[in-house]
Amino acid sequence: MKSLLLAGGKSQRMGQDKALIKIDGKAMITRVVEALKKAGREPIRIAVANPEKMEEYAEVIGPDYDIEWVLDSVQYAGPVNSIIDNLNDPICLEQDTVQLATVDVPWITHEVFSSLEKSMSKNDEVIIPTDGDLLQPLISLIRPRLLLDSLENWGGTPLHVLFLKIPHSLLMVDHVLIKNVNTESDL
């Protein structure tokens, strides 16, 4: 696993499944998967809430990607729980770095993912993209072995706050490229 794509949310604020919303003719999940592949972040582990989502998402993504599907151990428990579940997998712990991603950043590019990798120092547990105002921890590049200890004692702290307490770097990125889509007005 070189990337972990979080796709297990309810999309409550959107009122429909964000992963399947099309932008310029492509589902948001497909756009993110394409960016991860172009950045060399395959295999892509996609964490979903239920088996039906695996089938739906696989149909819109297509067969041209190295994807491993996993179910969140607790449905709709949130992204941090999904990250912890996956970091506890021995396959993940073998990786030097894992790229986090989420389906609601449809304008992300492979250049952003590549820049995170190039900019990460050997002392960083995480490198976090930011536009200067907001941090985007769910599209950070992480070192699984180092980060797992910090997350195990998570205690509900917002992820961006936790990431700022551990060895980290920030990467300035154009706000459009890392913009979250949570409501229709965000489109």
pLDDT reported for residue 10: 66
Report the predicted TM-score, pTM, of the whole model to 2 decimal places: 0.93
DSSP assignment of 100-158: EEETT-TT--HHHHHHHHHH--TT-SEEEEE-SS-B-GGG-EE-HHHHHHHHHT-TT--
Q: What is the mean pLDDT of each run of 10 residues along the chain (187 residues)?
A: 87 77 95 98 95 94 96 85 90 92 96 97 95 96 89 82 93 96 75
Burial 51-82 (b: 16+ CB within 10 A, else e): eebbebbbeebeeebebebbbbeeeeeebbbb
pLDDT reported for residue 73: 86
The Cα-based distances of 92 to 122, 150, 184 in angstroms read 18, 16, 34
pLDDT reported for residue 77: 79
The partner residues of 99 in beta bridges, in order of sequence, read: 3, 141
pLDDT reported for residue 44: 97
**What domains are there in the chain, each with its CATH number?**
3-186 (3.90.550.10)
